[in-house]
Amino acid sequence: MHRIRSLLPGIICIFLFCHTFAEAFAADERSSLSGKYVFAIGAEDYPPYEYIEDGELTGFHIELIQAIAEKNNLAITFERYPFKRAQQMLKTGKVDAFTYYGWTAEREKDTRYLEGNILHRAKIVYVVQKSRVDEIVFNGDLELLRDYRIVTQAGFSYGYEFDNADYLKKYAAPTLERLKDLLLAGRGDLGIVYLSDFYSAYKDTEILNKFTIIDPPVLERPMYIGFSKKAEKDNISTFFAKKMEEYKATEEYKTLYVKYFSEE
């Protein structure tokens, strides 16, 4: 019994040391995740996801990221750049992340894509002038589009099959606005667009009445927060993915979603 009693102070000390160390480590981890992170977004407006309204940056993606940042003591700054420049800055580690960034095998060399960091799933479709809809025959087989001029948006990916269909006649427009103009001018037969982008850009104009969507859609593609592999610190991509999954299970997230989209 004397031997056991003599060991107790040592055991208590070890326990207290371990407990204190664990608390210090946890505090350290919280502290390391309280640093500053720069998220790049595209220079163009993409309502309802990322856009300027009354001089302020807003949108579903912006509010979603801000909510997670505020709840987890993360200081996130948004910086707007043309797509190609933002892509290069992500690759070289000059920004921590790039929002609204679809996966490709090439991009994954420099970018960390995690399931938890999916912002939304985007539907990709072909659009054509209503006056020409009967000229286009399509059932999902890309070979049927071989003889048509397809206008794309520079820097965008539309899924592996389309991106690698080198036999198609593709013409890259610098912006969505230019893509629309080329189609209306007859300098392209059909366009390939992200449906929500196209609809949001022209929903209050007569433009939508001039186009129709060709069925079937190309695909539904997840859009991520892509984190820079070169810049990553504090395991921020994994931390953010976990916190975003947790937030998506809350009533607060459902309220945010309904604010921007009709309830499904």
Asked whether residue 128 carries a pLDDT value surpassing 60, the answer given is: yes
* Ranges of each domain in the chain: 33-121+222-260, 122-221
Provide the token pair at 219.
């695909």
Q: How confident is the model at residue 22 (pLDDT cuts 50, 70, 90)?
A: very low
- Asked whether the bond before 216 is cis by omega within 30 degrees of 0, the reply is yes
Q: How confident is the model at residue 17 (pLDDT cuts 50, 70, 90)?
A: very low
Q: Where are the beta strands (DSSP E) in the chain?
A: 36-42, 51-53, 56-58, 75-81, 97-102, 111-112, 118-129, 149-153, 169-173, 190-194, 211-228
* Matching CATH number, 33-121+222-260, of 3.40.190.10, 3.40.50.740, 3.40.50.10860, 3.40.830.10: 3.40.190.10
195-204: average pLDDT: 89
Q: How confident is the model at residue 203 (pLDDT cuts 50, 70, 90)?
A: confident
Higher pLDDT, 164 or 203: 164
Q: How confident is the model at residue 35 (pLDDT cuts 50, 70, 90)?
A: confident
Do the domains spanning 33-121+222-260 and 122-221 agree at the CATH topology level?
A: yes
Higher pLDDT, 263 or 52: 52
Asked whether residue 239 carries a pLDDT value surpassing 80, the answer given is: yes
Q: How confident is the model at residue 204 (pLDDT cuts 50, 70, 90)?
A: confident
The CATH superfamily label for domain 122-221 reads Periplasmic binding protein-like II (3.40.190.10)
